[in-house]
Structure 1
Amino acid sequence: MSKKNVEDYLTEGIYGTRLPKQEERDYFLGTLRERIVIALTIGQVMTDKGIQILEENMKHYPDAKLLFNGKIASRFLKAEKELANKYNISYTVINNEAVETDIGAVLTYDYAIDKEAIFMNENNEDTPSEEDTDHKEKTGFLSKLKRLF
């Protein structure tokens, strides 16, 4: 491991300690993809298209917590908050103005569950789509190797 120089200390002092997979955390409202049960876009939250699948996942994963994008007005989150209260699931509104994301709500755990399909398909609301699971974060060496075969 290399020694830290003065620039590293200054950068860490200004911006804080760098977390692993920071882009992934920013995109998924502060959590990692491997911890997510279901992720809804801002449009799905605002139109309540994902309310039914969110409720089903809340029933199956009662120990999860719900994260909301703070850029969504609270009047659009009313139904989701009522569901969270109904199933005793804690929720948090994440306000991060520096980050652009199209994720509106995430049902997540504090540990990895590695659920394959985390996005809801627009055509069939009950079935998460396969193409949405191939998110841009899957650009590691193993995923590139899998694509070759």
Structure 2
Amino acid sequence: MASDELKNHLDKGIYGTPLVNPEEQHKYLGTFRERCYLSMTVAEMNEPTNKEKFLQELEKRPEAFILINGTLPLEIQNQYIQLATKNQTKFTVVNDHVSEDPQSIGLLIAAKEAVNEPVIDVEEKYPTKQKEEQPKKKSFWDRLFK
């Protein structure tokens, strides 16, 4: 019995405390999906319209905090850090288990407890209005032979 406890203690010292659902925590910058209000990929962070959507979500969630991917270029990080400080929102730059891949998560607005938002992707949550398609003009032959 004592050797099992000793083995567990040594394992924790060597490998660290085991994580619950580590793949999900690595994907969501160290937190769980259920705690997220809004997510932006690295590619989405470069679009100026998404900054406005980010600010809208921050205004709705004063208790939230921000997680920023640490592998992003400093110019992009600084833009979102300035927006966070302007809104007096806590933020953390995460450097563990993150990547620069355009489809990986670049920014999260999250809570300390589960909020279970059904949609967190910025493009799905705040869709951009696309131009209505122009009615198709009838060709000369269509007009001639009604």
Q: TM-score, normalised by structure 1?
A: 0.71
Q: CA deviation at 1:4?
A: 4.7
1:105 aligned to which of 104, 107, 114? 107
Preserved contact between residue 49 and residue 125 of structure 1 (Cα < 8 Å): no
- Give the secondary structure class of the aligned counterpart of 1:50: helix
State whether residues 25 and 31 of structure 1, in contact with CA within 8 Å, keep that contact through their aligned partners in structure 2. yes
Query: Residue 29 of structure 2 contacts residue 98 of structure 2 at CA under 8 Å; is this kept in 1?
Result: no
Percent sequence identity over matched residues?
26
How far did residue 73 of structure 1 move? 1.5
Aligned to 1:88: 88
Q: CA distance change for structure 1 residues 105 and 99 in 2, over 3 Å: closer, same or farther? A: closer
Task: Tell me which moved more, 75-84 or 45-54.
Answer: 45-54
- 1:114 is the counterpart of 2:116: yes
The alignment partner of 2:92 has SS state of strand
Q: How many residues align?
A: 123
Contact preservation (8 Å) 1:50, 1:125? no
Task: Report 1 or 2 for greater relative contact order, CA contacts < 8 Å, sequence distance ≥ 6.
Answer: 2
Structure-1 separation of matches of 2:126 and 2:56: 9
Q: Aligned-pair distance for 1:11?
A: 4.0
Secondary structure at the counterpart of residue 51 of structure 1: helix
1:79 partner letter: Q
Alpha-carbon separation, structure 2, partners of 1:99 and 1:77: 14
**Which entry has the higher C-alpha Rg, 1 or 2?**
2
Structure 2: gaps (5+ residues): 129-146
Residue 25 of structure 1 corresponds to 25
8 Å contact kept, 2:70–2:98 = no
1:15-71 deviation line (CA, Å, top 9, x unaligned): 211121111111100111010010100111234452111111000001100010000
RMSD: 2.5
- TM-score in terms of structure 2 length: 0.72
